[in-house]
Amino acid sequence: MLPDVIGTPRLRLRPYEPADAARVLDTLSRLDVIRWLDNPPFVPMPDLDAARAWVEKVRTKEADDPRQAWRAVEVRATGDVAGCVLVSRLERVEGGFVGEYETGWHLHPDSAGHGYATEAAGALTAAAFAAGHEELNITMYPDNGPSLAVARRLGADDLGEREDPWYGGTSRLLLLRPEHLVEGPA
Ligand X SMILES: CC(C)(COP(=O)(O)OP(=O)(O)OC[C@H]1O[C@@H](n2cnc3c(N)ncnc32)[C@H](O)[C@@H]1OP(=O)(O)O)[C@@H](O)C(=O)NCCC(=O)NCCS
Binding site for ligand X (CB under 6 A): 33, 36-37, 104-107, 112-118, 140, 144, 146-147, 149-150
Could you tell me which residues come within 8 angstroms of residue 129 by beta carbon, excluding any fewer than 6 positions away?
A: 177, 178, 181, 185, 186
Residue nearest to ligand X (CB): 115
Query: Which stretch of DSSP H or E encloses residue 49?
Result: helix 48-64
Minimal distance, residue 141 CB to ligand X, in Å: 7
Minimal distance, residue 73 CB to ligand X, in Å: 9
Which CB atom, from 1 or from 114, has the smaller least distance to ligand X?
114
Q: Is 175 left (phi over 0), alpha (psi -120 to 50) or beta?
A: beta
Minimal distance, residue 31 CB to ligand X, in Å: 10
Minimal distance, residue 174 CB to ligand X, in Å: 10
Dihedral angle of Cα 138, 142, 148, 151, to the nearest 10 degrees: 10
Coarse DSSP helix, strand, coil percentages of the chain, rounded to the nearest 5 percent: 35, 25, 40
Which CB atom, from 35 or from 66, has the smaller least distance to ligand X?
35
Which CB atom, from 66 or from 149, has the smaller least distance to ligand X?
149
Which CB atom, from 38 or from 132, has the smaller least distance to ligand X?
38
Amino acid (one-letter) located at 56: E
